[in-house]
């Protein structure tokens, strides 16, 4: 076959293991999955009813422009509706922006480690990747700005960053955008924004009103609990939205996803409650990990990044050992960080289940290094 892309050099995305598979392979009665950053509770109240009410319309195509959802998002963010794009998850929007902006001879600047699909965007379009290392597990915006060249067409910032959970302020992003040429698109991937407790969490959206080369992407997959329906959105310039609409497939967001997202958006009180609950459980998870002598990166997301050195099992084998004990984590090897793991915030019961099994791999107090 004459593939136009050198597929040998493109890494396929590898998701976390399925709980059912692990349960079968290890003959376990219970498995807790803390690998995929899913919100552990069902969708917010009212969503189920809206989905059921829409089922009888499934013989019709959905609104290709998702007008009702776009209007609801425009009202929610006080953002012009012509600057709102809807996608099959925020990932589809990133893929479409890659199609619009990347090609051989063009370059993207991305952080590393970060979401693995950023590099795949470049590889599938033959574009060069300038991967800028994190500093203290967070985005190094000075180094990323310095990495911009005349060939740069796209910059992606993941905030909070996946897998580290670190957060950069809106003021820092404003300074960064001011340093970037106006014909370079800066995408701020805010997939985990609703979990952020910092008071400036919505200020980058305000920046996007002022800068046509700034695009903010968000998703309903996380705090809204709709990852099974795949719906996300971008707040961007009319020019960027038009490019997305030209490249996307018609009817890219299904009917149930559109009505579910519009309903979920109405329940901001529940979003606030879930944000507080996540912060409390994230704190419980962090305290439990640190009590075992492990180093945890401060996080503003619904996951934490933890160094697994100091257990009775070599750090690179801990995730595999925990899987046999009924806990699925995201091995840091997937991000080029062996010996680390990304741990999603689950329910209190799931966190305690994980910590109990991790404790079985910890040395006795008298055997800990430095004691």
Q: What percent of the chain has a predicted confidence (pLDDT) above 70? A: 97
Fold (topology level) of 7-42+269-361: 3.90.1150
Do residues 264 and 227 lie in contact, with contact meaning Cβ atoms separated by under 8 Å?
no
Instruction: Please write the tens of the pLDDT for every residue from 291-342.
Output: 999 999 999 999 999 999 999 999 999 999 999 999 999 999 999 999 999 9
Residue 251 near residue 88 (C-beta atoms within 8 A): no
pLDDT for the residue 366: 46
Q: Residue 186: is its pLDDT beyond 60?
A: yes
How much of the chain, in percent, has pLDDT values that exceed 90?
Answer: 89
Spans of all domains in the chain: 7-42+269-361, 47-266
Element (H, E) at 340: strand 340-344
Per residue in 131-160, pLDDT tens? 999 999 999 999 999 999 999 999 999 999
What mean pLDDT comes out for the span 336-357? 97
What pLDDT, on a 0 to 100 scale, did the predictor assign at position 370? 41
Q: What span, in angstroms and rounded, lies between the C-alpha atoms of 225 and 247? A: 27
Please give the mean pLDDT across all residues of the chain: 94
Mean pLDDT of the 239-260 span: 97
- Average pLDDT, stretch 362-369? 66
For residue 192, give Cα distances in angstroms to 142, 163, 223, 329, 351. Answer: 23, 11, 8, 18, 19
pLDDT grade, residue 251 (50/70/90)?
very high
Give the burial string for 97-111 (b: 16+ CB within 10 Å, else e).
bbbbbbeeebbbbbb
Helix ranges (DSSP H) in the chain: 19-25, 47-54, 67-77, 89-101, 117-124, 141-146, 170-179, 203-210, 238-247, 255-265, 268-291, 318-324, 348-359
For residue 9, the model assigns a pLDDT of 76
Strand pairing report for 185-189 and 152-158:
parallel
Residue 12 has pLDDT above 80, yes or no: no
Q: Which helix (H) or strand (E) holds 304?
A: strand 303-307
pLDDT number for residue 371: 34
The residues near 255 (Cβ < 8 Å, ≥ 6 apart) are 54, 57, 58, 60, 62, 63
Environment class of residue 166 by beta-carbon count within 10 Å: exposed (0-12), middle (13-18) or buried (19+)? buried
Contact 32, 285 (CB under 8 A): no
**Environment class of 254 (CB within 10 Å of its CB; exposed 0-12, middle 13-18, buried 19+):** middle
Residue-level pLDDT at 71: 98
User: Terminus-to-terminus CA distance in the chain, angstroms?
Assistant: 62
Look at 364 and 305; give whichever has higher pLDDT: 305
- Residue 170: pLDDT over 70: yes
Cα–Cα nearest to 246, from 52, 41, 29, 99: 99
pTM: 0.94
Q: Does domain 47-266 have CATH number 1.10.3720.10?
A: no
CA 368/CA 371 separation, integer angstroms:
6
Task: Give per-residue pLDDT as tens, 34-44.
Answer: 999 999 999 98
């Amino acid at each position: 076959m004459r593939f136009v892309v050198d597929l040998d050099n493109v890494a396929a995305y590898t998701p976390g293991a399925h709980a059912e598979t692990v349960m079968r392979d290890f003959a376990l009665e219970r498995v807790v999955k803390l690998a995929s950053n899913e919100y552990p509770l069902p969708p917010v109240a009212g969503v189920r009813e809206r989905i059921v009410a829409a089922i009888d319309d499934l013989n019709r195509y959905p609104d290709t422009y998702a007008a009702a959802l776009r209007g609801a998002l425009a009202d929610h963010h006080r953002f012009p509706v012509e600057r709102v794009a809807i996608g099959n998850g925020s990932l589809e929007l990133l893929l479409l922006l890659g199609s619009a902006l990347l090609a051989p001879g063009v370059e993207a600047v991305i952080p590393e480690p970060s979401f693995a699909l950023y590099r795949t965007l470049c590889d599938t379009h033959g574009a060069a990747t300038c991967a800028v290392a994190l500093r203290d597990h967070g985005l190094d915006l000075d180094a990323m700005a310095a990495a911009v060249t005349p060939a740069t067409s796209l910059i992606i910032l993941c905030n909070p960053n996946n897998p580290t959970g670190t957060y950069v302020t809106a003021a820092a992003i404003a300074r960064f955008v001011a340093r970037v040429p106006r014909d370079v698109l800066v995408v701020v991937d805010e997939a985990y924004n609703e979990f952020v407790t910092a008071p400036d969490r919505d200020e980058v959206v305000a920046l996007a009103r002022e800068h046509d080369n700034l695009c903010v992407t968000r998703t309903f997959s996380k705090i809204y609990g709709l990852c099974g329906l795949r719906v996300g959105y971008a707040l961007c310039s009319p020019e960027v939205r038009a490019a997305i609409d030209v490249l996307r497939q018609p009817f890219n967001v299904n009917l149930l996803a559109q009505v579910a997202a519009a309903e979920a958006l109405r329940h901001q009180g529940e979003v606030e409650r879930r944000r507080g609950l996540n912060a409390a459980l994230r704190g419980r998870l962090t305290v439990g990990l640190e009590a075992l002598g492990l180093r945890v990166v401060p996080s503003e997301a619904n996951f934490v990044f933890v160094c697994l050195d100091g257990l009775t099992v070599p750090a690179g084998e801990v995730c595999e050992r925990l899987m046999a004990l009924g806990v699925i984590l995201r091995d840091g090897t997937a991000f080029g960080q062996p010996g680390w793991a990304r741990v999603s915030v689950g329910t209190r019961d799931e966190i305690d289940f994980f910590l109990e099994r991790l404790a079985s791999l910890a040395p006795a107090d008298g055997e800990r290094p430095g004691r």
